């Protein structure tokens, strides 16, 4: 074992046979933060009705967690490298639990959103520590296994989250989807103390990259805000006044603030990349080394991971709304259907292992993405207001198989060629990319659903001759702004069958559009996966000023 590869862990701890118990503790901590990314989705219809949320507020409750997590992941990872990963991990768990209590006690939209923000801050301190500690503990084939477990936990727990959320919401109340974190967090803290060794970087560049953090956080936040609020304030033409820090962007302005915010977000991210290149050039601490993206497996693997997360979380936002509001399922019933994804993800574990030995990890990622894209395309073609939940679950089993195969192998694929000296930064970057995919999935697919509802609902209601035009506009607007919740109201109060049918057909049309979009995103991810090298190549220079080079190939034992 080279000095560079064992630099952050003492030899007695490295030889400890407890490392697999340590992996279990890390996986439990990871499960807690991943679960919270999806457990909310199936409970959204109930939360919307209970707190009287608007469509955009529902999007924020789902996506703000991923936005904050993505914005802080790299910074938290660097803090862990410097201060100690276990210490930062523990602080993150405590913050996460505080956010869970805040969210559970919320009685309105904004307190719930605040709780989700605090949860995201805590999760950002937890997630990078899991992967960086694994990098320090495991070598050779053990590392491959550990990475596969890490990816499987993300895929499996994310898929099973809706079932847990549906069960808790149906048998208890929706605040329990947050309170369930309390016992999980307590177990993680006990495991950290007993089984997880402290690891940190022995040497690090001087300074704190505060400017880089502010630029990256501003860029991500502005773009996601614009995507979510586009339907509220107008994608190009202003729809209403936009208040901001004492200034009001008038509804009579020639252009909406949304495209301006998108442009400012893109500019901030461009400046972030330029600033990080400058920091690396002068030998100062930086959140990101853009030169890492010169490694083909890291570059294309991250693009693929982004597409996988975007498709998955966009799907998890839309399908529960469709199943509860159109199919009339309970939250638990919708959870059972979505649990088919988890079943497929867990089944894929046995299939993937044999395939990896035969065709390699990259090919398994490609097969998984193909299964995901085809399954979602089939769902889009088959979805109707009367589709059998069993048939929908069967389709989602196929999607889950692909999700499990792709996610389990992506982590090792992305990080396999990253030099050990940069493993912490590489781990945090790929985790950030996944979370950005999650946030953008909810933002993009949610925005597309809103736009599609604005088009499809009036079109369907136009065919209801007994409904006056003004009433049709009111019903269509109420249905869109309630994310479909008004359909249940029409159903419960014995509304005209023709109106109910038009609303169900319109929501189904919009759901079909978003599913096709998710399939396209996954197809783009598959295209990126074809660019990932199929095997580890010779040593590559990362291109940093220090001239550090990779001297081992992926999966090579020391």
What is the per-residue pLDDT for 127?
A: 81
* pLDDT value at 344 more than 70: yes
Dihedral class, residue 544 (left if φ above 0, else alpha if ψ from -120 to 50, else beta): beta
Per-residue pLDDT tens digits for 396-410: 999 989 888 887 788
What is the per-residue pLDDT for 536?
A: 45
**What whole-number percentage of the chain has pLDDT above 70?**
89
Per-residue pLDDT tens digits for 415-445: 778 776 676 677 778 777 887 888 788 788 8
**What whole-number percentage of the chain has pLDDT above 90?**
22
- Grade residue 558 by pLDDT with cuts at 50, 70 and 90: very low
Mean pLDDT across the chain = 81
What is the per-residue pLDDT for 494?
A: 67
Long-range contacts of 141-146 (CB under 8 A, 24+ apart): 141/555, 141/557, 142/19, 143/412, 143/555, 144/412, 144/555, 146/23
Per-residue pLDDT tens digits for 265-313: 999 999 998 998 888 888 787 777 788 888 888 999 999 988 888 888 7
* pLDDT value at 88 more than 60: yes
Per-residue pLDDT tens digits for 96-127: 999 999 999 999 988 999 999 999 999 988 88
Distance from C-alpha of 472 to C-alpha of 222, rounded to nearest angstrom: 34
pTM: 0.76
Give the residue-averaged pLDDT of 366-372: 92
Is residue 555 classed exposed, middle or buried when 0-12, 13-18 and 19+ CB atoms within 10 A define those classes?
middle
464: Cβ–Cβ under 8 A, 6 or more apart, which residues?
Answer: 472, 496, 498, 499, 502
Per-residue pLDDT tens digits for 16-27: 567 788 888 888
Dihedral class, residue 230 (left if φ above 0, else alpha if ψ from -120 to 50, else beta): alpha
């Amino acid at each position: 074992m080279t000095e560079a590869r064992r630099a952050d862990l003492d030899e007695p701890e490295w030889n400890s046979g407890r490392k697999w118990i340590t992996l279990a503790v890390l996986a439990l901590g990871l499960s807690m933060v991943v679960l919270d990314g999806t457990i909310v989705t199936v409970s959204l219809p109930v939360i919307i009705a209970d707190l009287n949320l608007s469509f955009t507020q529902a999007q924020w409750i789902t996506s703000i967690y991923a936005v904050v997590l993505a914005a802080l992941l790299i910074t938290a990872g660097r803090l862990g490298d410097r201060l100690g990963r276990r210490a930062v991990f523990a602080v993150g768990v405590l913050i996460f639990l505080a956010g869970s209590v805040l969210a559970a006690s919320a009685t309105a939209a904004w307190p719930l959103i605040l709780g989700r923000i605090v949860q995201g801050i805590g999760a950002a301190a937890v997630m990078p520590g899991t992967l960086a500690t694994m990098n320090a503990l495991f070598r050779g084939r053990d590392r491959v296994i550990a990475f596969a477990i890490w990816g499987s936990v993300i895929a499996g727990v994310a898929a099973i989250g809706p079932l847990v959320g549906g069960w808790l919401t149906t048998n208890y109340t929706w605040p329990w989807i947050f309170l369930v974190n309390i016992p999980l967090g307590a177990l993680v803290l006990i495991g950290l103390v007993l089984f997880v060794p402290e690891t940190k970087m022995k040497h690090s560049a001087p300074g704190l990259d505060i400017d880089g953090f502010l630029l990256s956080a501003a860029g991500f936040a502005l773009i996601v805000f614009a995507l979510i609020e586009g339907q509220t304030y107008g994608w190009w033409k202003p729809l209403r006044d936009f208040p901001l820090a004492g200034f009001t962007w008038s509804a009579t302005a020639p252009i909406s603030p949304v495209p301006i915010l998108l442009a400012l977000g893109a500019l901030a991210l461009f400046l972030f990349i330029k600033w990080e290149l400058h920091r690396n050039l002068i030998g100062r601490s930086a959140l990101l080394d853009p030169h890492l993206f010169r490694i083909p497996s890291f570059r294309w693997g991250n693009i693929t991971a982004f597409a996988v997360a975007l498709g998955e979380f966009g799907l998890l936002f839309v399908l529960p709304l469709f199943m509860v509001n159109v199919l009339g399922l309970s939250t638990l019933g919708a959870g059972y259907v979505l649990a088919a994804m988890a079943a497929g993800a867990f089944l894929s574990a046995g299939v993937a292992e044999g395939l990896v030995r035969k065709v390699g990890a990259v090919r398994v990622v490609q097969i998984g993405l193909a299964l995901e894209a085809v399954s979602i395309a089939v769902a889009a073609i088959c979805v109707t207001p009367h589709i059998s939940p069993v048939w929908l679950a069967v389709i989602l089993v196929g999607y889950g198989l692909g999700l499990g195969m792709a996610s389990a192998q992506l982590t090792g694929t992305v990080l396999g060629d990253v030099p050990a000296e940069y493993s912490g930064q590489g781990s945090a970057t790929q985790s950030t990319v996944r979370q950005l995919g999650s946030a953008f999935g909810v933002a993009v697919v949610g925005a597309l659903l809103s736009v599609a509802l604005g088009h499809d609902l009036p079109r369907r209601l136009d065919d209801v001759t007994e409904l006056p035009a003004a009433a049709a506009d009111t019903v269509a607007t109420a249905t869109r702004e309630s994310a479909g919740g008004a359909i249940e109201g029409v159903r419960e109060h014995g509304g005209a069958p023709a109106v109910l049918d038009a609303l169900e057909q319109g929501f189904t049309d919009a759901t079909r559009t978003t599913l096709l979009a998710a399939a396209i995103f996954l197809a783009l991810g598959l295209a990126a996966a074809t660019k990932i090298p199929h095997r580890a190549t010779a040593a590559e220079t990362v291109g940093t000023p220090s001239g550090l080079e990779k001297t081992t190939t992926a999966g090579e034992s020391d």
